[in-house]
Amino acid sequence: MLLVSIFVLLALTTDILLTLSLSWPWWLAVIMFVLFAVGFVVVYALLCWLFAIFIPKNDERPPRKFYTAITRITCHFLMVIFNIKMVVIGKEQLKTIPAFLFISNHQSYFDPICQIGCYGRDDLTFIMKDNILKVPMLGNWLCSAGHLPLDRVNNRNAVITIQKSARRVEQGYPIGAYPEGTRSKSKELGEFKDGLFKVAVKTKQPIVVTIIDNAYRLKSRFPWRRTKILLKVCRVIEYEEYQNMNTHAISTMVKEIIVRELELARKEYSWLQ
């Protein structure tokens, strides 16, 4: 919301000053206001790209506060633009845990945007698909903010990313992952990949199990209808609870929690049905 207010204020101020000095008709002033607003968004995107372009994409340093803070602000901006209303439950549990493996189901491209923007943890970064690195500006920025690319084709590269993720958690930072590996694009839950849970086993840190629901409807509702999305921290699994389990057993336990919590949420909230 802050970023939207800034863009609107800058565009309105510029428009008023030029309208008064050039005596534009009202209809031209309205058109110019829209153009100024779009222009400031483009300038903002270019500035972000310039800040990120000189940082290597394979850089392994921890998340930088400047980049993570700007990422969170941008996520809020996108949620306003896409007319999203968030219902967030249990985020206070994340404030007391320094480092953890953050696990969620995966319904849309907007899942990490909502989770970064609403959970109040600027240091939360995600294991992302490596093809995002190919997107101009976005790939550079995400790597600068500390997100880690996962090669789903080359197993050796995938193992390296898991090792980097474990080192990140050992340094005291949370790391997020989607065990489904890809978007479900619906309310259904896909098969879980066990390998991501090696991060928890290696670091002996808590596993934070969360759900996101209704995000899959965003594509069909935008721009004409508001989309209400649920975020919920379901459970924090301490190391003592899973220390004697292998990654498959941990994955099965986490999936059962997510399935159960999704079912309960859909019974409680009619807008999720």
How far apart, in whole angstroms, are the C-alpha atoms of residue 110 and residue 118?
12
90 pLDDT higher than 60: yes
Among 179, 170, 123, smallest CA distance to 150 is for 179
Please, what's the b/e burial string for 208-233 (b: 16 or more CB within 10 A of its CB; e: otherwise)?
bbbbbbbbbbbeeeeeeeebbbbbbb
The mean pLDDT value for 158-166 works out to 90
Topology of 61-272 in CATH? Glycerol-3-phosphate (1)-acyltransferase (3.40.1130)
Query: Residues 98-145: pLDDT tens digits?
Result: 999 999 999 999 999 999 999 988 889 999 888 877 777 777 788 888
Number of H helices, E strands in the chain: 10, 7
The mean pLDDT value for 30-58 works out to 70
Q: Map out the domains of the chain as residue ranges.
A: 1-52, 61-272
pTM of the model: 0.85
Query: Residues 132-156: pLDDT tens digits?
Result: 777 777 777 888 888 888 887 777 8
pLDDT band at 10 (very low <50, low <70, confident <90, very high): low
Query: Residues 219-241: pLDDT tens digits?
Result: 888 888 999 999 999 999 999 99
* pLDDT confidence of residue 136: 72
Question: Do residues 259 and 252 make contact, with C-beta atoms less than 8 angstroms apart?
Answer: no
Spell out the alpha helix ranges (H) of 62-217. 65-81, 111-118, 138-144, 155-170, 198-203
